[in-house]
Structure 1
Amino acid sequence: MTTPLVKDRIYRSPQALIGGVLLLVIVGWLGIDALIRGNGRTPWLALAALILIVPLVAAFTLRPAVFAGEDRLRVRNPFRVITLPWGEIAALRSGYSNEVIVKSGAKYQLWAIPVSLRSRKKAARRQAKTESDARRGRTGPGAGAAGYGLGGFGGFGSSGGLGESDHAAGAARAETDKVMDDLRDMLESRGPAESAQGEITVRWAYEVAAPAVAGAVLLAILLAVG
């Protein structure tokens, strides 16, 4: 009997996806309009700009993702794909950006899990308010909603055995910090596994870089010839 494959956990930035789609729609609309209605060199300039801009927008918004599997962490950044066995990862660090640090000392940024200082400040304010409510002995609906954030989701029925303070502590974390906590848990549990050992591989995304470079060269030639 074969063991069923465990699907990777996939982490992406919803804000980046939405922003990328909107940017591509705007760029596509303007570029196609210039291609159809433009005169002289305008269609050629529009074509070169599209070849340059579209891959870059997709690379920095739609492409980034982090795939956390049983044995490996795969980081898909704008121009590189880094495959890291859990056993080769030394730490997952959160500062002004989220990074993977490997045992050799190399660092790789997690583009798909951006740090939001604004979210951290909001989470800190919620946590401070929750702790203040707890010190004053407030346990009514108002205190619960303040602790759980939008909608008070933590107050719905079953708590899975967690106390109110546990829920409040979890809700007070910024979303990307919660994701990093999940990845650290996986690193701790899977790092020593024999199947999670191996070599780190880095692959450059030529499918993104090649068209962008071609568009830049074409655009430079058109501008140079006047």
Structure 2
Amino acid sequence: MTTPDPQYKERVHRSAAAIAGGVLLLGIACWLGVDAIAAGKGSTPWRALAALLLVVPLVTAFTLRPAVFVGQDRLRVRNPFRIIVLPWGQIETLRSGYSNEALTKSGAKFQLWAIPVSLRARNKAARREARRVAQGGGPLGVGSGARAVPDGPVRAESDRAMDELRELLEARGAEESAQGEIVVRWAYEVVGPAVAGAVLLGILLVVG
């Protein structure tokens, strides 16, 4: 009797820093835009409205929208302007450099916007790892009053996330349920308003 595979609970990776920055930028944009619409004269309110129609979708796309949904059979990547569904069986490797990317067996490459590479975080993790090794490989902070960390190499958060994805790729890549076609869909709900805002703003600037 074959034992069914244990169900993997879907995880979601998002950038907390990007979300915080996006909320701040949207707040500023809305504050300035609404003020210009309410107090502006002539074509200023229309220009402000067009600018908001352009800026809000773009800021949302690059900050609040990106997410990586990690499932048992596939990786669903929500980037600023596209949604990519990658069955594990179609992924050749997951690469980390100046950005984190998924490379498929067909040669396509997709960036994981929601798991950004932070060189600062990597350098900080490297320094902590060096201190850990210098102390004999035990948890940091023992006998020094500093915060302790688990045993093992210290890694940046994005690198730990990629390590987890690689482990799941290795475990699930050959499974029958993890096969299938790659699906790529454009995010028209983001592209449409942004294009409309750009066109309207361009017309208003030309007309004066």
TM-score by length of 1: 0.85
Paired residue for 2:148, among 152, 159, 174? 152
Secondary structure at 2:136 match in 1: helix
The answer to whether the 8 Å contact 2:142/2:148 transfers is no
How many angstroms apart in 1 are the aligned matches of 2:20 and 2:141? 38
Identity among equivalent pairs (%): 65
1:121-178 deviation line (CA, Å, top 9, x unaligned): 011111111111218xx99422x84xxxxx3254xxxxxxxxxxxx141xx1000000
Aligned to 1:28: 30
AA in 2 matched with 1:209: V
Change in 2 beyond 3 A, CA 1:32/1:100? same
How many angstroms apart in 2 are the aligned matches of 1:141 and 1:30? 52
What are the equivalent positions in structure 2 for 1:1-226 lying under 5 Å apart?
6-134=8-136, 140-142=142-144, 145=146, 151-154=147-150, 167-169=151-153, 172-226=154-208
1:83-106 deviation line (CA, Å, top 9, x unaligned): 000000000000000000000111
AA in 1 matched with 2:129: Q
State the 4+ residue runs in structure 1 displaced beyond 3 angstroms.
Answer: 3-7
1:47-85 deviation line (CA, Å, top 9, x unaligned): 000000000000000000000101000000000000000
Gaps of 5+ in 2: none
CA displacement at 1:7 relative to structure 2: 3.6
Higher helix share: 1
AA in 2 matched with 1:178: R
Change in 2 beyond 3 A, CA 1:43/1:140? closer
How many angstroms apart in 2 are the aligned matches of 1:123 and 1:139? 15
Aligned to 1:157: none
Change in 2 beyond 3 A, CA 1:221/1:193? same
Secondary structure at 1:74 match in 2: strand
How many angstroms apart in 2 are the aligned matches of 1:211 and 1:4? 42
How many angstroms apart in 2 are the aligned matches of 1:87 and 1:4? 18
